[in-house]
Homo-oligomer: A and B are copies of this chain.
Amino acid sequence: MLPMTEVDPRVTRTRNDVLNTTISVLIDEGWDAVTQPHIARVAGYSKATVYAHWPDRVGLLRDAFARYGDMPHHEPTGELRTDLIGELTSFRSAMIDHRLDRAMVVLAERASAVPEIVDIRDAFTRDGERPVRKILAAVADGAELEAAVRMLCGMVVHSVFMHGAAPSDAVITAAVDLTLQGLQRG
């Protein structure tokens, strides 16, 4: 792919329109509705345009989920507790405001059944965990770092997937405090 600066802005706009539409259709109509002809119709572009950018459907889904990597994150302050609470709160907002919860559970379900979706899920998870992992890597490593990352991200994911509601401020704060106390940083 060319560096961003060399891409015609109209092309960038078209791509972003189509990728935003892809996520909306996925959320509203489900996985099977994400086909190039249907996305083209909903986004208001020709089928030829969509097929030119994404000859295969999996590539379209991959790029659509990759856009979540650009979502707003908490601006780090260097203070562990503040940054973890801020980042988990941003993650919770993304779930609610951008309906990331629904997109994620559809992605998880599809990846558990369709091998070609596994790479999309793994990239999404890696990008999503990166800020929390970076904050915690200052004070933990190995299995302890892995456990702390999965407990904190997992607390949010589990709440949304299995309880059907994002965690409260009190539960986010308690989770961060337990983790930092556990790491002897509380």
Interface residues of A (CB under 8 A from B): 30, 101-102, 104-106, 108-109, 111-113, 118, 121-122, 124-125, 128, 142-144, 146-148, 150-159, 161-164, 167-168, 170-175, 177-184, 186
Contact = CB atoms under 8 A, between A and B. Distances in A.
A46 B171 CA distance: 49
Contact of A178 (B102, B148, B157): B148
Number of copies: 2
Contacts of A171: 143, 146-147, 150
B182 A186 contact: yes
A180 B167 CA distance: 21
A143 B155 CA distance: 13
Given A105-B112, A157-B161, 7 more contacts: A102-B112, A106-B109, A143-B168, A147-B178, A150-B159, A154-B156, A158-B158
Rank and list the top 4 A-B pairs by shortest CB-CB distance, nearest first. Answer: A154-B154, A154-B158, A178-B182, A182-B182
Given A150-B155, A157-B157, A171-B150, A163 B122 contact: yes
B109 A109 contact: yes
A3 to B, nearest CB: 30
B143 A150 contact: no
Nearest to A108: B161
A97 to B, nearest CB: 16
